[in-house]
Amino acid sequence: MKRIINRALLTTHRLAINLVTYSEGHSVPRHLDMIESGRYYKLNFILIKAKQGGIFETEGVIFCLFNRIILFRPDLYDHSVSKIEKGKRVLLSFALHMPERSVI
């Protein structure tokens, strides 16, 4: 498998911010991000697009601007990234876990 550099910039119980670099030849197979309960959101800012390949695909998005800023639910919708044929892909990823509210 080709190398991924995942630099954690902030990690808390509910929020994670990562700078992720995917090298040439890498791909991400279709998957769901499993969580025990609650809702999970990801807001990805694609800082550097691969010159060829590295296309993000998902069954559903909440918001997408210029295929560079993407808000989606990785716990509900399958998502993947096609093989990076040329160049690298760099993204700033904000992951937010919203736990279930308890009813009193």
Distances (CA, A) of 64 to 4, 30, 36, 41, 60: 24, 19, 26, 13, 10
What does the pLDDT read at residue 94? 98
pLDDT in tens, 6-57: 999 999 989 999 999 999 999 999 999 988 888 999 999 999 999 999 999 9
- Given a contact cutoff of 8 angstroms between Cβ atoms, the answer to whether 35 and 46 are in contact is no
- Given a contact cutoff of 8 angstroms between Cβ atoms, the answer to whether 4 and 11 are in contact is no
**Closest alpha carbon to 38 in 100, 82, 86, 89:** 100
What does the pLDDT read at residue 36? 84
What does the pLDDT read at residue 14? 92
What does the pLDDT read at residue 100? 82
Q: pTM of the prediction?
A: 0.86
Does the domain at residues 4-98 carry the CATH identifier 1.20.140.10? no
**Closest alpha carbon to 56 in 88, 83, 91, 80:** 80
Q: Where are the domains of the chain?
A: 4-98
